[in-house]
Amino acid sequence: MLYWLLYPLRDEVSLFNLFGYTSFRAAYATVTALVIAFLMGPVVIRALRKRQIGQHVRTDGPQTHLKKEGTPTMGGLLILLSVLVPVLLWGRLDNRYLIIVLISTIWMGLIGLLDDYLKVVKNYPNGLIGRYKLIGQFTLGLGIGLWLYLFPVVGEGQSSILPGIRTIDLSTGSFSILPTETIVPFFKELRFDFGLLYIPFVALVMAGTANSVNLTDGLDGLATGVSLLSILAFGIMAYLLGNSNYAEYLQFPFLNGAGEVAVFAGAAAGACLGFLWFNSAPASVFMGDTGSLALGGAIGSMAIVTHCEFLLLIVGGVFVAEVLSVTLQVGHFKRTGRRIFRMAPLHHHFELLGWAETKVVVRFWIVAALLGLIGLSTLKIR
């Protein structure tokens, strides 16, 4: 909104020229999200306490978690608010990349909100039935996949015959990407083209990422911090690939307009930091499925619009490990009656090994930061 109001006045007020820079708007989207989270956090927490919207702790989990019973949940509302307002203020809402990521975040957040409402307010033990939750997630993914497949992005300088292709002529050759292709990390010219299967692939990425973040949300600050680091990594990736100079230097396909996703990433990172102020141990509020599914939708959609879906396996390695731990635990137990881990997801295994909750969280953050840096290094290591 501010871009449309102030940037046209740059000839009269030179300061307004700053609104033409994505980096400037991304930085202030971060600041705005932080301020909103700091100001609205106590308000949201008081409202949740007043309505007795508290966490129900599973009795078969670590016994140290029983003291968390009744802690306000559905704090993901604070995350959504802290993301939405800065994006509306600082983002260019005519940018399709930004719209896709924003819609994905809100859609997934609403699914989580319904689940939290049924679980905590209506006292349905399992909340929203799993298959309905998956239907909602896959509907979003299929919709985005179909949209990108039928109406590929067309930017200035793109081919009118093949409107989904953006080509940059470099001294080492021509680099382009099709709307149904995804970039393979560590390989310069290798692309994986899904063709029509790109539509269900997008749906799988969206649902898988959202649910993996949801599984990770089991300790104070864990999912918040790991999501923050993943969002920053994909935000940097979007900014670089959305800038023709950087894309040319890195010999990557130029994704015209993708840099605007950095504004969203700034808002989401600020929202996570602000929420972490209240969510760090001992947590004053939990994000619930409202927050975890919203953050999963954000991360998954950022990977999709940058054509870096496979990079999720690296940048989101902590989420992948959490999902694998549950999958392996359940599968092995069904076959043998024995467990691989003391408890799944993986973070509970380390708790039962004797690690303090804060130690597990901080060490997972460190691993997530390392994986994020490795993911970014694939821009050059190819």
As a whole-number percent, the residues of the chain with pLDDT over 90 amount to: 74
Handedness of CA 328, 330, 331, 334 (dihedral sign): positive
Average pLDDT of 302-319? 96
Least confident of 151-155, 296-300, 324-328: 151-155
DSSP symbol at 284:
S
Q: Tell me: pLDDT of 28 over 90.
A: yes
Q: How many CB atoms lie within 10 A of CB 161?
A: 6
- Please give the pLDDT value at position 168: 32
- Please give the pLDDT value at position 56: 72
Least confident of 148-157, 234-243, 245-254: 148-157
> Token pair for residue 303?
């990977």
The Cβ-side half-sphere exposure at 350, using a 13 Å CA radius, reads 18
| pLDDT band, residue 166 (cuts 50/70/90) | very low
- Please give the pLDDT value at position 125: 81
> What are the C-alpha distances in Å from 189 to residues 104, 174, 197?
29, 10, 21
DSSP symbol at 67:
G
Q: Is 295 helix (H, G, I), strand (E, B) or coil?
A: helix
Q: Tell me: pLDDT of 289 over 90.
A: yes
Least confident of 91-105, 182-196, 366-380: 182-196
Give every CB contact of residue 242 below 8 A, 6+ residues apart in sequence. 22, 97, 254, 255, 256, 257, 258, 259, 260, 261, 262
> What are the C-alpha distances in Å from 1 to residues 15, 243, 271?
17, 22, 19
For the chain, give the mean pLDDT. 89
- Please give the pLDDT value at position 1: 84
Q: Tell me: pLDDT of 163 over 60.
A: no
- Among 73, 85, 77, residue whose Cα is nearest residue 36: 85
Pairing of strands 191-193, 181-183: antiparallel
Residue type, 193: D
Decide which of 382 and 364 is more confident.
Answer: 364
> Token pair for residue 12?
């009269």
Q: Is 54 helix (H, G, I), strand (E, B) or coil?
A: strand
What tens digit of pLDDT does each residue of 52-71 get? 887 776 666 676 776 778 88
> Token pair for residue 259?
């840099």
Residue pointed to by tokens 């467990």: 339
Buried b (16+ CB within 10 A) or exposed e, 28-58: bbbebbbebbbebbeebbeebeeeebbbeee
DSSP per-residue string spanning 311-357: GHHHHTHHHHHHHHHHHHHHHHHHHHS--SSSSSSHHHHHHHTT--H
Average pLDDT of 233-245? 94
Residues 74, 290 contacting (CB under 8 angstroms)? yes
pTM: 0.92
> Token pair for residue 249?
């230097």
Give every CB contact of residue 3 below 8 A, 6+ residues apart in sequence. 19, 20, 25, 90, 91, 92
> Token pair for residue 97?
């990349």
What tens digit of pLDDT does each residue of 341-373 get? 999 999 999 999 999 999 999 999 999 999 999
Residues 253, 241 contacting (CB under 8 angstroms)? yes
Which residue spans within the chain are E strands per DSSP?
Answer: 168-170, 173-175, 181-183, 191-193
Residue type, 43: V
Residue type, 163: P
